[in-house]
A and B are shown apart, each in its own frame.
Chain A
Amino acid sequence: MGISYFDDTPHVDQVGVEERIARFSTRSIKKTSKMQALKLALNMIDLTTLEGKDTPGKVNQMCYKAMHVCNQLPELPTVAAVCVYPNHVKTARKALNGTEIKVAAVATAFPSGNSTSSIKLEDTQFAVSEGAHEIDMVISRGEFLRGNYNFVFDEIAAIKDACGKARLKVILETGELSTLDNVRKASDLAIQAGADFIKTSTGKIQPAATMPVTLVMLQAIKDHYKKTGKMVGMKPAGGISTAKVAINYLVMLHETLGDSWMTNEWFRFGASSLANDLLMQIGKEQHGIYQSKDYFSND
């Protein structure tokens, strides 16, 4: 029996989305509101390192940066979380001991998701047992694209079970879903299957996060909230590297979902180079001087 997940899924008006996006970038955000937005964006970052060459040293370094984003600038928030592979969770937990910063782990055969269900479950259980607060899973795009929605739904639900108390972020990898209609469908599917967060991309595929797909996903969250009263978080990831773009995302978030989502409990940026650009802009606001990358740490 086929279950219909998409009874309430509307078609996406692509032209309408693009016009809406164009208007988000025209808001004038200056002075104190800009400062507030920059700090909020910094506070929403999942500082990420997901490379084959990651070492405990690199993870420790990143955790230090997460705690001390920039000691020269006073009154800065920390980032929201660090995001690592499961085998580095323990290192990150130890390094971040005693702070509010969460540890997120990518699991389920990240980034392709091509593996058996048992291995994906094991991957998740391992990350959780190592102490991950959050699990970033990838959906099986191949199964989704050939219409095997039940498979994708069941897989997400199974991983959600395996997460226990850890919050589950479901990566749709929108760069492989071709159309905005598919993005909307995948969002609805993930939300119904129990996602705490929906996330655009792994960062390994281009295009990664774009404003149109993020808007479509935000609208899926909004519709779900209207229907059930349950909030779901959003995480655009990959390709957001400047403060200007981050502020445009915050404008879009505010105008689509409103105040309650304007916290790192419900919105995250998956990024690594964004942090430094935000710091450069905060420095500019505080001192009135344009900054250089030379004066901020690389990692």
Chain B
Amino acid sequence: MERIEVLKTYKLYIGGQFPRTESGRYYPLLNSKKQTLANISLASRKDYRNAVVAARGAFGGWSSKTAFNRGQILYRIAEMMEGRKMQFVDELMVQGISKSNAVKEVQTSIDRMVYYSGWCDKFQQCFSAVNPVSSSHFNFSVPEPMGVVAAISGNSSSLLGLISIIAPVIAGGNTIVVLASEKYPLCGVTFAEVLATSDLPGGVVNILTGKSSEIHSHMASHMDVNALLYCGDDKAEIKTISELAALNVKRVFVRSEKKLEKDEHENPYYIMDFQEIKTTWHPIERVGGGSGNY
């Protein structure tokens, strides 16, 4: 008797859980021969709202972990991805990518995760400063995470684009709600399974699948989101996002997904995009030759 294959249900990833979309909607993902590969959840604005609540809830815990511990957890994600390499390759191939390119994309993705895991406890030193001031104060500036980041993945890749968005954002201590590529959503859901098994607290990364056209305006207007990263190429969407983001002065970044495999996408400035600089004035007395009173 022939065995019936058990097909995977591709769901959302919110707050460490895998819920179906509250809207109950889905869209069929077709391959080049117009065959249905999977039914993908079509997330609604309410799923997005729930994800933001989860991300906000997780922010305090994630941002106050030691930088070193965050690095360990990102490295753990890379370890888990390595174990699932073949699954990612298979998924890329059913989405129409050649085997050699698929293998390359998965390897680059894992390496990129390791790259950013290394930066977790190092970018602060590189981007901090002790500032010269003309009073008896010890004055220093340090980067701190912005908060909840929303992101929209473009349509040029299934896995690498997503990793390139998520890794620098969480390496800096932020939490994120990301809409996976609408055209290539499969790896996003499998990556969520990786996250669920890699010591990452629930809610730090939340992955939705669905249509950018439907969600981008809500992402931009949500008052509890601090920054937005857009990796698509729709001019009208970029305009809407820029306008609506002004409501709570969200920081908006539009990033191209061209040549994603290149080293230029491995860059600590991508961590710094989602940091704010805090400057502290600390009174001192008679340090060195100083003789100030306060």
Contacts and interface: CB of A to CB of B under 8 A. Distances in A.
B79 interface: no
B266 interface: no
A290 B218 contact: yes
A290 B221 contact: yes
B60 to A, nearest CB: 13
B221 A289 contact: yes
A291 interface: yes
A77 B221 CA distance: 27
Contacts of A289: 221-223, 247
B237 interface: no
Interface in B142-175: none
Contacts of B52: 290
B159 to A, nearest CB: 29
A295 B224 CA distance: 9
A293 interface: yes
Contacts of A99: none
Contacts of A295: 223
B248 interface: yes
B49 interface: yes
A75 interface: no
Nearest to B223: A292
Interface string B203-225: 00000000000000010011110
- Chain B contact-residue range equals under 10
- In terms of DSSP, what is the predominant structure of the interface of chain B? helix
Contacts of A294: 223-224
Interface in A263-296: 288-295
Interface centre among A289, A290, A294 (most CB of B within 10 A): A290
B11 to A, nearest CB: 22
Contacts of A291: 223-224
Contacts, number: 22
A138 B204 CA distance: 42
A292 B224 contact: yes
- In terms of DSSP, what is the predominant structure of the interface of chain A? loop
- Chain A contact-residue range equals under 10
Contacts of B221: 288-290
Interface centre among B221, B224, B247 (most CB of A within 10 A): B224
Interface in B204-258: 218, 221-224, 247-248
B175 to A, nearest CB: 14
Interface string B10-52: 0000000000000000000000000000000000000001001
Interface in B35-86: 49, 52
A49 B76 CA distance: 45
Contacts of B218: 290
Contacts of B222: 289-290, 292
B248 to A, nearest CB: 7
Interface string A89-122: 0000000000000000000000000000000000
A294 B222 CA distance: 12
A86 B224 CA distance: 38
A290 B247 contact: no
A286 to B, nearest CB: 13
Interface centre among A288, A291, A292, A294 (most CB of B within 10 A): A292
A289 B244 CA distance: 10
A295 B218 CA distance: 18
A294 B224 CA distance: 8
Nearest to A283: B223
A289 B222 CA distance: 6
A175 B218 CA distance: 40
Interface centre among B52, B223, B224, B248 (most CB of A within 10 A): B223
Nearest to B224: A292
A292 B218 CA distance: 13
A226 to B, nearest CB: 39
Nearest to B45: A290
A290 B248 contact: no
A293 B223 CA distance: 9
B119 to A, nearest CB: 29
Contacts of A293: 224
A293 B247 CA distance: 15
Contacts of A292: 222-224, 248
B223 to A, nearest CB: 4
Contacts of B224: 290-294
Contacts of A290: 49, 52, 218, 221-224
A291 B248 CA distance: 10
Interface in B108-156: none
B222 to A, nearest CB: 4
Nearest to A289: B221
Nearest to B219: A290
- Counting from the closest, the 9 A-B pairs by CB-CB distance are A292-B224, A292-B223, A290-B222, A289-B221, A291-B223, A290-B49, A290-B223, A289-B223, A295-B223
19 contacts: A288-B221, A289-B221, A289-B223, A289-B247, A290-B49, A290-B52, A290-B218, A290-B221, A290-B222, A290-B223, A290-B224, A291-B224, A292-B222, A292-B223, A292-B224, A292-B248, A293-B224, A294-B223, A294-B224
Given A290-B52, A290-B223, 12 more contacts: A289-B221, A289-B222, A290-B49, A290-B221, A291-B223, A291-B224, A292-B222, A292-B223, A292-B248, A293-B224, A294-B223, A294-B224
